[in-house]
Amino acid sequence: MKVLLAMSGGVDSSVAAALLLADGHEVTGATMKLWGGPSDSGCCSVADVDDARRVAQQLGVDHFTFGFADDFEADVVAPYVAAHAAGRTPNPCVECNRRLKFDRFLRRADALGFDAIATGHHARVERGPERWHLRRGADRAKDQSYVLHMLDQDALSRTLLPVGHLTKDEVRSKARGLGLRTADKPDSQDVCFISATGGRGAFLGPRMALTPGRVVDRGGRVVGSVPAVQLVTVGQRRGLGLAGGGAPSFATDVDVASGTVTVGAAEDLLVTDLVVGSPTWVGPAASGAVEVQVSAHGTAHPGRLSSSHPLVRVELDEPVRRVAPGQSVVVYRGDDVLGGGTAH
């Protein structure tokens, strides 16, 4: 089978190339150049492209670089900015997978005559009796199924995830055994276009108006202030301009229109249901008993889906902390990914 492999320059996609070759596939590597600005997250750099090219050369496969920067700006960066302007907390890594890695890249593969695409994600694609399944990776600590929850049957039928059945240690061991230059390369961290030194403020400041806001308690009394209400996330504790000495307070609501952040105690964040918008499903729309995960490597919370259109309501067995609006809520049944959407 002719496979176009997305090579990030990291160890996972490097080993994925070797595994695909060992399985007899005709492999071509391609690195997507997405973000051209400053980055200290360990991805999207010139060095990453060079690492991918050299690994491809070592394994004897062709390598290309695809310039998708305009698509990345339009489909990931612009929605990220717009979400913050509206007081939401976006998940750009999910949108990058949705719009670039499993849409733009897949369409390019189709245009070039490839049978399938592959990536180094830690998740598994398996064919069942009636449909394709997306399942957690074997290494729960590195599982990336959360950021792939939007994949549908068409995408899954043409996607290979060669390292999903391996632990991270096993991936690195295989890379060392093959003498790959990426064997001990650190994993990329955080959002590629947000620098650790400047943070979200430095990135968003030139792209939108950041406005100061007041911080009020649940009774409406002003108790602090923030330099930019658009940068506050539900659940945030630090940076709220509160006087010290009292019990910890957390942001429980962000209203950009009025420039107001409401704070409360930890228990004020607890909810027993979640409302999820823009749901997508791997297979049939889910219902009944499920588990929901609200962060990439968080705990899966048991609950029940009580409705599925146009909003999904999840009734939880136990209270959990409220999810910041805009964050992904992913629905599982065991290791099986059912789908997901964004928290309201």
H helices, E strands: number in the chain: 9, 17
- List the structure tokens of 168: 């991270």
Instruction: Provide φ and ψ at 304, rounded to 5°.
Output: -145, 135
Q: Which helix (H) or strand (E) holds 57?
A: helix 46-59
| C-alpha–C-alpha distance, residues 172 and 3, integer Å | 22
Q: Which has the closest alpha carbon to 44: 75, 7, 95, 81?
A: 7
43 is catalytic: no
161 to 7, 49, 93, 146, 258: CA distances (angstroms): 12, 20, 18, 14, 46
* Catalytic residue chosen out of the listed positions 43, 44, 93, 96: 96
Side-chain half-sphere exposure of 146, counting CA atoms within 13 A: 22
* Catalytic residue chosen out of the listed positions 43, 44, 93, 192: 192
192 is catalytic: yes
| C-alpha–C-alpha distance, residues 68 and 314, integer Å | 36
Residues recognised as catalytic: 96, 192
